Amino acid sequence: MASSKFLLALFLSIAISSAIGERGPLKLSAVQQCRLQRLRAVEPTRQIESEGGRTELWDENQDQFQCAGVVAMRNNIRPNGLSLPNYHPLPRLVYIEQGQGYISITFPGCAETYEAYKVQRSRESEESWERKQKGSVRDLHQKVHRIRRGDIIAIPAGAAHWCYNDGHEELVAVSINDLNHQSNQLDQKFRAFYLAGGVPKSAQGEQNPFQNIIRAFDSQLLAEAYNVPEEIVKKMQGVEEERGLSIIVRERMSFIRPEEEQEQEQEQEQGNGQSSDNGLEETYCSMKFKTNIENRRKADIYSREAGNVIVADKYKLPILQYIDLSAEKGTLYPNALISPNWAMNGHTIVYVTRGDAQVEIVNHSGRTMMNDRVNKGHMFVIPQYYTSTARAGNNGFEWVAFKTTGSPMRSPLAGYTSVIRAMPLQVLTNAYQISPKQAQGLKVNRGGQSFLLSSSKRRQY
């Protein structure tokens, strides 16, 4: 009894702290300048071509990304392409915009409990592989995760990871790297440590942070560390390597994942609100790294007339408590609106996935920072506390928003949960010099609608 009461109390406590957003990992962006002159929806400005695909980078020196303290990138991996193993000194949140594949996120000390080829007889490539391996020992490795369109994947700082496209179309992954996360004790420069491949020095400018770190080690020492002939280490160092950050694999790879269907079922259950996951029962090595935000049946905000929003926050994906990032997938029907609102707990980085919208962002001194039409492929930052609104175009509007907090909270200015509705009529009439009836209109004319507001055109007809 005492204990269940305590559990409840603890839950409330967690709810409080995250709601207020005053606790948990800290963001260092306060150190940076956010004295922005203008916000703009922009496309990637730099790209790195590799054998297995293309990496596109948004300009991290732009004011808006500096203020948010993030580096944004879009990875395009070709069918049968393998993004080479690497790690980075900051957490990354990935959205799979297109395609399917596998990802593995490696933690030191976790058991290699997955066998690479044994039961799975049905796939052709794998059988030919097995033939070649006749007599060799079975391969054991760490867990490999299936990824598909709509997945949000959290990659902790310092964890090595690789990714493979086993589908028939390009695998497109849009991601945000949080330079301000407290796990990063280096400075706020974006770095990645590649364990293979790497962009050749000749092909890169000063800014290129992608290199094979194995290349720099004494090959003799490494050979002894691995207890292998030095020529193997020399291959690992790939001095003549020109393949870049991703490669095309020689034979189609496949991985045994007996739990695959099981996992999907489980996710569906959780999506139905049955999850009792509180972030406590998972151990380090079996921690869940991903969740899907594509299925509208799992919407957190749903309006039959205006659209829907699906959230991936620390309650749905407990690792986001440590990563202190989150994401949402939103859909706005043609001409519908997003209530003017401000984010209480972090910056919002919006990536447009479909359609278009007119977006307006206002700063504290009542200045319009942005009032532009944004289109597919655009990215822009809504700084914390800045008030923003949007109206979808005639074809609707879809977006993915990354947030620099694990427990995002919005304060809307219009609609059922708005601050205006929370104020007494007398405060409104006096503050705005309007009649009680007009004030009442401000409070209730949107009825039960919150955040997503239907188009008045639609309603009028």
Q: Which of residues 311-340 bind its own copies (CB under 8 A)?
A: 319, 321-324, 337, 339-340
Q: Among 100, 217, 257, 277, which residue sits at the site for its own copies (rule: CB under 8 A)?
A: 217
Q: Among 40, 287, 393, 396, which residue sits at the site for its own copies (rule: CB under 8 A)?
A: 287
Of residues 26 through 55, those in contact with its own copies by CB under 8 A are: 26-35
What is the nearest approach in angstroms of its own copies to the Cβ of residue 427?
6
Which CB, 119 or 137, lies closer to its own copies?
Answer: 137
Which CB, 24 or 330, lies closer to its own copies?
Answer: 24
Q: Among 119, 131, 186, 273, which residue sits at the site for its own copies (rule: CB under 8 A)?
A: 186
Q: Among 189, 296, 354, 376, which residue sits at the site for its own copies (rule: CB under 8 A)?
A: 189
Residue 214 tokens, joined: 């194995």
Of residues 83 through 112, those in contact with its own copies by CB under 8 A are: 84-85, 87, 89, 91, 104, 106-110, 112
Query: 327 - beta bridge partners?
Result: 312, 402
452 binds its own copies (CB under 8 A): no
Q: Among 312, 445, 448, 461, which residue sits at the site for its own copies (rule: CB under 8 A)?
A: 445
Of residues 224 through 283, those in contact with its own copies by CB under 8 A are: 224-228, 232, 235-236, 238, 247, 249-251, 253, 255, 278-283
Q: Which stretch binds its own copies (CB under 8 A): 56-64, 221-229, 295-303, 394-402?
A: 221-229
184 binds its own copies (CB under 8 A): yes
Which CB, 268 or 440, lies closer to its own copies?
Answer: 440
176 binds its own copies (CB under 8 A): no
Q: Which stretch binds its own copies (CB under 8 A): 39-47, 169-177, 299-307, 363-371?
A: 363-371
Q: Among 191, 230, 375, 377, which residue sits at the site for its own copies (rule: CB under 8 A)?
A: 191
- Please state the length of the chain: 461
Using an 8 Å Cβ cutoff, are 43 and 351 in contact?
A: no
Q: Among 98, 120, 188, 268, which residue sits at the site for its own copies (rule: CB under 8 A)?
A: 188
The 134-173 site mask, x for binding its own copies (CB under 8 A), equals --xx-x-xx-x-----------xxxxx-x-x---------
What is the nearest approach in angstroms of its own copies to the Cβ of residue 428?
9
Count, residues near its own copies per rule CB under 8 A: 183
9 binds its own copies (CB under 8 A): yes
3-state helix/strand/coil string of the chain: CHHHHHHHHHHHHHHHHHHHCCCCCCEHHHHCCCCCCCCCCECCCEEEEECCEEEEECCCCCHHHHHHCEEEEEEEECCCEEEEEEECCCCEEEEEEECEEEEEEECCCCCCCEECCCCCCCCHHHHHHHHHHCCCCCCEECCCEEEECCEEEEECCCCEEEEECCCCCCEEEEEEEECCECCCCCCCCCCEEECCCECCHHHCCCCCCEEEHHHHCCHHHHHHHHCCCHHHHHHHHCCCCCCECEEECCCCCCCCCCCHHHHHHHHHHHHHHHCCCCCCCCCHHHCCCEEECCCHHHCCEEECCCEEEEEECCCCCCHHHHHCCEEEEEEECCCCEEEEEEECCCCEEEEEEEEEEEEEEECCCCCEEEEEEEECCCEEEECCCCEEEEEEEEEEEEEEEEECCCCCCEEECCCCCCCCCCCCHHHHHHHHCCCHHHHHHHHHCCCCCCCEECCHHHHHC
Which CB, 97 or 314, lies closer to its own copies?
Answer: 314
What is the nearest approach in angstroms of its own copies to the Cβ of residue 299?
17
Residue 401 CA, distance from chain mean position:
8
Q: Which stretch binds its own copies (CB under 8 A): 15-23, 42-50, 259-267, 292-300?
A: 15-23
Q: Which stretch binds its own copies (CB under 8 A): 260-268, 291-299, 304-312, 356-364?
A: 356-364
Residue 11 tokens, joined: 């839950």
426 binds its own copies (CB under 8 A): yes
CA–CA dist 400, 58 (Å, integer): 16
